[in-house]
Amino acid sequence: MTRSYLAAPDLIWTGHINARSEVQEGFDRGRTVRFYDTTLRDGEQAVGVVFSADDKFRIACQLAELGIGRIESGFPRVSPEDTKAVERILAANLPSEIWGFARAVKADIDAHIELGTKSILIEIATSESKMKAYGFTRDKVVARIKEAIAHARAHGMRVNFFPVDATRSDLDFLRAMYQVAVEAGAQEVSVVDTIGACAPEAVEFLIRQVATWVGPDIPIHWHGHNDFGLATAAAIAAVRGGATWIQGTINGMGERAGNADICEVALALQCLYNVPVEMDLTKARQVSETVRKAGGYTVDRWKPVVGDALFTRESGAVASQFHMPDAIEPYSSKLVGAGRGIVLGKKSGLANIEIKTKELGLSLPEDKFAEVLACVKDRSVTTHALVSDDEFRSIVEAVAAAS
């Protein structure tokens, strides 16, 4: 069952210009956009990241809570640890569909068959560059994908055809490959921007082309990367073009510049385009933290959706408007389950002092705010850091004692 989410209008403060018809036209709002998460496979391809089987199981459980429609469990032939992870995820009976990943290789597919995977994404290169790198000819690619899809279908599996480097493929050959895949039994197809080289406008064009090639009954997935910083924009364009599934990862992790960040895509679709999505963004920060800890990396404090400092204010000019969130934020922190707060540092102003004293329950006459602010700024400049709550208490006590 699809779980549809659409942010309440009173929690979105993006202005009237987004409501213009030329911005909003082209989207099918009668259809909920769904997400296929590949954190456990494509995300783990980020350099230096190694998830344990326990990590993958924990992440999968939280992805299901997030509302992800499909979770790619992994590639069991990589290692025994990956096999164990796929086994545990399949056995958990999560509300999300569990999909497997395979090359167009019989042994890859058999590994999933043995584990009980019911749905599988099968990849093969279709661009001249990738085929040359693998030593494939066009005839070999056609033969291998026919055989692989037929083998999976013979074992009752649902198949998504995943043409690697589709966006750099010869369009005539790409069209032929989609048709070959569908005739062989693929029930779904992906449009794959393997090296993140496709402009958003080109994405929309290609999705529309593929839709005419495969027909209205074949769901289309978009799989994009972020090499030009346009992964979210490309995913939005794909939805406008008719894609019903967006593939990506938590935190946008992945090889090179990473994959599309599915939480960012979900936020933009809801808040900027009024498109319903299958994702409970109030759970995004929790799963983001779990993935970061398991992967041993951090994200920028200012990262959309999950950044630690998104709703935290240091600037005095901004803090003076803190009582009106819509004056300083484009959407409510409630949408992503985040708290709001004030911190103290070099850029703080009198408003920060007032808010922080109330927050900590401190007694400080208003005529002492400027003196305390001067001490806060001095401490921050000296330490090259924010002033902690304990340090602030000490400053307030010292100023009060000197009065």
Report pLDDT digits (tens) over 224-244.
999 999 999 999 999 999 999
Q: What dihedral angle (degrees, nearest 10) is formed by the CA atoms of 284, 285, 290, 291? A: 60
Q: Percent of the chain having pLDDT more than 70?
A: 100
- Long-range contacts of the stretch 104-111 (C-beta < 8 A, 24+): 104/144, 104/145, 104/147, 104/148, 104/149, 105/144, 105/148, 106/147, 106/148, 106/151, 107/77, 108/75, 108/77, 109/148, 109/151, 109/152, 109/155, 109/157, 111/76, 111/77, 111/83
Report pLDDT digits (tens) over 79-130.
888 999 999 999 999 999 999 999 999 999 999 999 999 999 999 999 999 9
Domains and CATH numbers, the chain: 9-295 (3.20.20.70), 312-402 (no CATH)
The pLDDT, as a whole number, for residue 120 is 98
How far apart CA 164 and CA 358 sit, in angstroms, is 57
Name the band, by pLDDT with cuts 50, 70 and 90, for residue 337. Answer: very high
Name the band, by pLDDT with cuts 50, 70 and 90, for residue 18. Answer: very high
Neighbour tally for 180: CB within 10 Å: 17
Report pLDDT digits (tens) over 307-324.
999 999 999 999 999 999
Running DSSP on this structure, what letter comes out for residue 10? G
Beta bridge partner(s), residue 344:
387
How far apart CA 198 and CA 86 sit, in angstroms, is 32
State pTM to two decimals. 0.94
The pLDDT, as a whole number, for residue 402 is 84
How far apart CA 386 and CA 395 sit, in angstroms, is 14
Cα 181 to chain centroid, rounded: 28
**What stretches of 67-170 show up as alpha helix (H) in DSSP?**
80-91, 106-115, 128-134, 138-154
- Spatial CA neighbour of 120 closest among 97, 91, 136: 97
Report pLDDT digits (tens) over 243-258.
999 999 999 999 999 9
Provide the mean pLDDT of the chain: 96
Identify how many contiguous H helices and E strands the chain contains and give both numbers: 16, 10
Angle at CA of residue 100, ends 97 and 102, nearest 5°:
155
- Spatial CA neighbour of 198 closest among 240, 168, 178, 169: 168
Report pLDDT digits (tens) over 379-402.
999 999 999 999 999 999 999 888
